[in-house]
Structure formats: structure tokens, C-alpha cells
Amino acid sequence: MSEAILKVEGLKTSFFTDDGEIPAVDGIDFSVNEGEILGIVGESGCGKSVTSLSIMGLLPSPPGKIVGGHIFYKGEDISHAKESKMRKLRGNDIAMIFQEPMTSLNPVFTIGEQLMEAIRLHNHLSKKALTERAVELLKLVGLPRAKELLKEYPHELSGGMRQRVMIAMAMSCNPKVLIADEPTTALDVTIQAQILDLMIKLNRETHTAIIMITHDLGVVAQMCNRVVVMYAGKVVEEGLVKDIFNHPKHPYTEGLIQSIPDLYGKKDYLHTIKGSVPKPGSIHKGCLFAPRCEFVMDKCRVNTPELLGDSHKSRCFLHQEKA
């Protein structure tokens, strides 16, 4: 793999509410290499989506704000870039697809208008060339009747088709990085598999790096090269997918893996991680996972572990002691 195209260093994003500052992302680091598929995994509310919106510069502001750290795209810090600069990057260099295909397309404009706009914003093409490119994109994402589809409205399409349109829109300007924020969560399982296959295919063909944000370890296992596990706004483990699945170095990751239902296994109760993700800002010292951890030690409640390791990093005293 080649050098990092996108690098996040110590990113801190907070929401400023009437109750004060609520840190949603608390100093995370990761990087994505060219052409790589990186998974970001975690429960709801752990800061995955906020991370992706921070990268895109699309945080709802106020109340959201990047309060620390850097985001490097091709070596340039874009964490506080001007809106005009970000507009040029968005859709062109870094594109994004969202969780809800049903509501992510504008209901009162045709597929063609929305798709061609995405192309036109970053390319100067004639009307004919625009249409050709739009048809080509729809075919690329495996949609039949591409020409007719251009004249149809989102409500005339199924969820899977809409997500394909969203992917076509995101891929329209050959972005270097594609952020996919739970792109399959709202779809049923067969469509989910098709969409994932499509994304893998696009990654191979266009060499676009993909950041796959998900809470589904199955998706990670199927798609990703490397994975970052997030918990309560922090990275708790990072490494190659095979390492993390075979030798998880954090009790939280272990818990996540154990709670994957086994298709052929004995029908028993599914493993759960007791409790829920702490409210951001509610734990001030010690490991954030300590209240839910089966292996909690005394020092876990007092000291905050660091993210340590070479290619397989983890933020856990237990595993750092073993090493």
C-alpha cells in the first residue's frame, strides 16, 4: 500500500449546548491509504458519524465544532479550511454516501438533475456530455434502464436503487476518498450484500479509498483491509482486519465479535456487552470502558490507558501488560 491520502491526527469535535461542552470525538488518530478500504466500527453514539462529518466540514455548526487536532488531505490541513476551499474538495476529492437512501435524495428533483449537478459542480461539460456521463455512472453502479432513470423521481425507485444512485453521485467526479456512513444499515440483507459488492468492485476499478463506517463487524470482515474500533469518542483498537478478528486486544472488540450471530452455531442467547455507551463527557478519569468491562482492574478506574502498539494498536492495560 502506498502513502496516506487522508490522515486524522488528534481530532477533537465537541458540541456546545446549554449544558456546556459535550465532546463527541475525543482525540482520535487514523489514516487512510490510497486505494485502501478502512473500516470504522462502533456502537451508536460513539462518534463515527461526527468524525466523518468533521472530515467533510459538514458538522451542524452551531452547535458542533472542531476544537482540536488536524485533518490532512494530501498533506494539507483541512480541519479549519475556508468554506470555498471545502466546497471544491467536497464531491470532487472527498465524497460521501449516507445511511438513509430513502431521504438522502431530493424528492422534488429528478435523478438526472441531481446526478448531473454533482458532475457539473466540478467539471465543465456540455449538456450532451453531462447526460452521457450520468448514464455511464448509472450503468457503472449496475442500474438498468439508465436513460429512463434520469427522468424519474426518487420516490419511483426502491431503497437499493436509491443507494446505488447515491453511490453513482458520490463517484461522479472520481473522488480520491469515499466516506460511506453506514450505507447498508437501512437496506435489507440481500440488497446490503449487493451494495457492498458494488463498493468493493468500484474500489478495485477506480482505486478510490473508502472509509466504511459501520456498526456491523460482518461488513468489516467482508470489505475492509484495516479497521479502527471506536468507543465513546476514542479509538480503542486499530489494526488489520485479520489480526483484530483473530486476536482482539481490547475487551470491547472481543465483546463485539462475540455478539455476532453465528449462522450455523447452536441456538443460544447472543452474547451482549452489558450496559450502554457512557454519555459523552460523563466519565472524567480512567478507561471509558471500565464500567462495562469484564476484566476491569483497579488502575483502569484511575488511569487512562494510551493507544499503544505498532501495526495492531490497542488502548487497554490488560493487553499492554500481557505484551
Of 152-181, which residues contact another protein (CB under 8 A)? 153, 155, 166, 169-170
The residue whose grid cell reads 502513502 is: 3
User: Contact region for another protein (CB under 8 A) — 14-22, 106-114, 222-230, 294-302?
Assistant: 106-114
CB of 142 vs another protein, minimal distance in Å:
20
Task: Give dist(CA 238, CA 315) in Å, integer.
Answer: 9
DSSP 97: E
Residue type, position 133, single letter? R
Among 14, 51, 54, 104, binds another protein (CB under 8 A): 104
Cell (9 digits) for 304: 487512562
Among 11, 25, 46, 95, binds another protein (CB under 8 A): 95
- Give, for 318, the enclosing helix (H) or strand (E): helix 317-322
Indicate the residue among 150 and 236 with the shorter CB distance to another protein.
150
Indicate the residue among 122 and 315 with the shorter CB distance to another protein.
122
Among 91, 160, 233, 251, binds another protein (CB under 8 A): 91
Indicate the residue among 72 and 153 with the shorter CB distance to another protein.
153
223 makes contact with another protein (CB under 8 A): no
Q: How far apart, in Å, are the Cα atoms of 76 and each of 50, 89, 158, 179, 190?
A: 21, 12, 39, 18, 40
Comparing C-alpha atoms, which of 88, 28, 33 is closest to residue 57? 88
CB of 179 vs another protein, minimal distance in Å:
9
Among 98, 252, 289, 317, binds another protein (CB under 8 A): 98
CB of 100 vs another protein, minimal distance in Å:
5
User: Contact region for another protein (CB under 8 A) — 117-125, 129-137, 216-224, 312-320?
Assistant: 117-125
Of 26-85, which residues contact another protein (CB under 8 A)? 56, 58
Cis preceding-peptide flag for 183 (omega within 30 of 0)? no
**Cβ within 8 Å of residue 124, ≥6 positions away:** none
Among 117, 281, 297, 320, binds another protein (CB under 8 A): 117
- Give, for 23, the enclosing helix (H) or strand (E): strand 20-33
CB atoms within 10 A of CB 216: 18
Indicate the residue among 150 and 232 with the shorter CB distance to another protein.
150
User: Contact region for another protein (CB under 8 A) — 91-99, 129-137, 197-205, 241-249?
Assistant: 91-99
Task: Give dist(CA 249, CA 317) in Å, integer.
Answer: 10
Indicate the residue among 50 and 89 with the shorter CB distance to another protein.
89
Contact (CB, 8 A) for 23 and 10 = no
Among 7, 12, 122, 249, binds another protein (CB under 8 A): 122
The alpha carbon torsion through 237, 240, 245, 250 (nearest 10 deg) reads -20
For the chain, how many residues are written? Answer: 323
Cis preceding-peptide flag for 63 (omega within 30 of 0)? yes
User: Contact region for another protein (CB under 8 A) — 97-105, 187-195, 246-254, 307-315?
Assistant: 97-105
* # residues near another protein by CB under 8 A: 28
Comparing C-alpha atoms, which of 138, 133, 136 is closest to residue 152? 138
Among 88, 139, 147, 204, binds another protein (CB under 8 A): 88
Residues in contact with another protein by the rule CB under 8 A: 56, 58, 87-92, 95-96, 98, 100, 103-109, 117-118, 121-122, 153, 155, 166, 169-170
